[in-house]
Amino acid sequence: MIRKSRLLIVILACICVILTIINYAPHPHILSLNEKLHSFGRSRHPSFVIEPNNVEFHFTNPKGISGNSNQVVERNKRRYQQLFSQEITEPLDCELHRPGTQYKKANATIIALVRNNEGVKLGRTIKSLQQKFNNRFNYPYTFINDQPFTDGFKAKIMRYVGDNTPVEFVTIPEKLWDKPDSIDVNRETIAMSALAKENVAYAHKASYHNMCRFYSGNFYNVPELQKYKYYWRIEPNVDFYTDLNYDVFKYMEDTKKVYGFTIGLADIHQSIKTLWPETLAYLNTDDNYKYINPNGSFQWLVDPLQNPIKHQVTGGYSTCHFWSNFEIGDMDFFRGEAYN
């Protein structure tokens, strides 16, 4: 039930924006589609219908993919191997801001949700990120916890952070972390037990549910984050392998990018059986269709070829979704009407 709420937001975000990194500035083609949608209250295409109380998405197989699911998966694996073997290059769509040059930095922070017993693991991450990026740009860190940080944790972390880098330790307000009263506890308990019987991870773990809810709907409301526009989420116990010799936050600002993520995967279909029908029901209510970007990645959302069982169990959803662990984004988007 908690997971369903989290992923409903993810799917709506996918529909409202485009895949990979999202841009506020409308491309002329996108603008014409949006004008058509809002001027006439409807938009039709072979793969979708976007009208008041009539929102539908259809898989049209635009690339003419053939074969059974195993063959599709094998072809995709080969394609991924080709992509992963390619050199990762810097963006080419704007002038990049380099270390040592004079410019106004973006209004941004690096954030991490972390526990007091993860000081060493977080220190490893900070050490790596400082070496690969932040020693050059000195963006502030905001460390977040549902419990007050200990003095020992703070002292440990400060050993990894440069003297010129601002650091803030934040305790999450209970109303932004704890389970809201609106959740039906009886239905929640039944649903969690059903998921546990199907060996779905974290089915009964309240802290995990709180974390998912917080990162999907509340992190941008933390008071100490209100002064920032952009954020980059990091995790304890990770390494960064690529030198970043340009200001990624300034790149987001200059190109009006809204969101970026690192990986997209198929989800555990047992945990989201009603997510897609609920999403469609929402979009077909009142004027909620207006939040759909006609240029969205609908084929990605309803593709049945790679995982037909997942598609069937979820009522037409591919279960493809992006992980938020190392996301970078514009909190003004999350604070806006469409997301909320």
Q: Check if 337 is active-site.
A: no
Q: How far apart are CA 133 and CA 190, in angstroms?
A: 46
CA dist., res. 53 & res. 280, Å (int): 10
Considering just the CA atoms, what is the radius of gyration of the chain in Å?
Answer: 21
List the one residue out of 237, 249, 241 whose CA is nearest residue 109. Answer: 249
Helices and strands (H and E) in the chain: how many: 14, 12
Distance CA 113, CA 47 (A): 39
**Contact predicate 339/333, CB 8 Å:** yes
Rounded-to-integer distance, Cα 233 and Cα 61, Å: 35
Classify residue 244 as left (phi > 0), alpha (psi -120 to 50) or beta: beta
Residue tagged active-site, from 56, 168, 278, 327:
327
Measured CA to CA, the distance from residue 26 to residue 203 in angstroms comes to: 41
- Taken in order 321, 224, 147, 135, is the CA torsion positive or negative? positive
- Provide the H-helix boundaries in the chain: 2-16, 28-40, 69-84, 119-129, 135-137, 151-158, 174-177, 185-197, 206-217, 248-255, 275-283, 298-302, 308-313, 331-335
Query: Closest Cα partner for 18 from 219, 303, 295, 285?
Result: 295
What is the CB neighbour count within 10 angstroms for residue 283? 22
**Enzyme catalytic residues:** 327
